[in-house]
């Protein structure tokens, strides 16, 4: 099968539309900043592409044929669409429009993300932010699969220790741990609780796919010379607070999970303090300089800094 290789050129369409509007090659050349010869050559090229005469002489000027009138009508729409497309691409390139899909783990999604999204909407009102919640493994899988542009994850390394892998990271926050005690617990009167004083306590454990609270609790208790006696488990920090408020035991909880503290719960520092959980932002290297990604990163960093100060 033979294919017709003639393709209408947007530059030639713009010349054609100008000639139709001006009614002569001389006036069109002046409007376009071309020579008359250049306008004539481009019209001849367009006629060859269109396969029909586009103009006929009319006194000292020219007027479009039926094909020329039809093409001028389409040219107006086509050139407007091209202008719109170029403007949209510029807006997308500069971050004024578009979308950013971000995955956070639950406590960061509750504590940091709302403020960050509000900031992005103020700075870039044309950008749509689509947040979802997932744990580390799911978030990183979705990032690498191209399903999202940015993730907030807990990593086992701190600043300066990040791996040389296929992702670009920004350190966001070191989230300290606190010990939750029933309000009537004897140690609740202290500002800093020594872990050795909780060797006989019952413990409430908050579990999850990454299980960092369990490992941290076991590690700090082991260093203090005992193994924690877990009597209840929950997959939500809010439920854990309920157990503690009921006087059932004590629990280790990261600060970002304490946006709201339940009545009957005392929040205290531990001595010595456990290593905080290290929170990172990650994206694919090809996206790290995208304006929307940069704006969201800066918004989250600001939210994390204010959270730490508070």
Where the chain has pLDDT below 50, the residues are 1-5
CA distance 195 to 220: 8
Of 239, 169, 242, nearest to 208 by C-alpha is 239
pLDDT at 9: 80
**Quick check: is 76 in a domain?**
yes
152 and 295 share one domain: yes
142 and 52 share one domain: no
pLDDT at 84: 67
CATH number at residue 260: 3.40.190.10
**Quick check: is 5 in a domain?**
no
85 and 19 share one domain: yes
57 and 204 share one domain: no
Q: What string of DSSP letters covers 36-59? A: HHHHHHHHHHHHHHHTS--EEEET
160 and 289 share one domain: yes
CA distance 203 to 201: 6
86 and 154 share one domain: no
CATH number at residue 49: 1.10.10.10
65 and 194 share one domain: no
267 and 293 share one domain: no
230 and 298 share one domain: no
Which of 93, 123, 140 finishes a domain?
Answer: 93
**Quick check: is 1 in a domain?**
no
CA distance 250 to 270: 12
How many separate domains does the chain show?
Answer: 3
**Quick check: is 291 in a domain?**
yes
Residue carrying structure tokens 């993730």: 151
Hey, is 224 helix, strand or coil?
Answer: coil
**Quick check: is 297 in a domain?**
yes
pLDDT at 176: 95
196 and 246 share one domain: yes
Full domain range(s) for residue 239? 177-275
235 and 87 share one domain: no
112 and 257 share one domain: no
Cα–Cα–Cα angle for 293, 298, 303, nearest 5°?
A: 125
**Quick check: is 2 in a domain?**
no
CA distances in angstroms from 24 to 47, 133, 236, listed in the order given: 16, 63, 76
**Quick check: is 210 in a domain?**
yes
């Amino acid at each position: 099968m033979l294919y017709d290789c003639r393709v209408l050129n947007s530059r030639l369409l713009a010349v054609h539309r100008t000639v139709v509007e001006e009614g002569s090659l001389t006036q069109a050349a002046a409007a376009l900043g071309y020579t008359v010869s250049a306008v004539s050559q481009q019209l001849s090229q367009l006629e060859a592409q269109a396969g029909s005469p586009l103009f006929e002489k009319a006194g000292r000027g020219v007027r479009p044929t039926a094909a020329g009138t039809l093409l001028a009508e389409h040219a107006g729409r086509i050139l407007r669409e091209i202008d719109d497309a170029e403007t949209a691409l510029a807006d997308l390139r500069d971050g004024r429009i578009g979308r950013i899909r971000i995955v956070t783990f639950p406590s960061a999604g509750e504590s940091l993300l709302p403020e960050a999204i509000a900031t992005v909407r103020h700075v870039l009102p044309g950008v749509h932010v689509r947040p979802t919640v997932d744990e580390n493994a799911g978030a990183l899988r979705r990032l690498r699969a191209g399903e999202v542009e940015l993730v907030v994850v807990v990593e086992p390394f701190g600043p300066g220790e990040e791996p040389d892998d296929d992702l670009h990271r920004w350190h966001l926050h070191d989230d300290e741990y606190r010990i939750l005690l029933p309000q009537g617990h004897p140690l609740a009167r202290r500002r800093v609780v020594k872990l050795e004083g909780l060797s006989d306590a019952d413990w409430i454990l908050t579990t999850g796919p990454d299980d960092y609270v369990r490992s941290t609790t076991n590690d700090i208790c082991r260093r203090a010379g005992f193994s924690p006696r877990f009597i209840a488990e929950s997959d939500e920090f809010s439920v854990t607070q309920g157990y503690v408020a009921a006087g059932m035991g004590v629990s280790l909880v990261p600060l970002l999970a304490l946006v709201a503290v339940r009545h009957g719960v005392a929040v205290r520092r531990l001595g010595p303090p456990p290593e905080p959980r290290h929170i990172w932002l990650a994206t694919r290297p090809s996206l790290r300089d995208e304006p929307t990604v940069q704006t969201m990163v800066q918004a989250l960093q600001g939210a994390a800094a204010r959270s730490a100060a508070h």
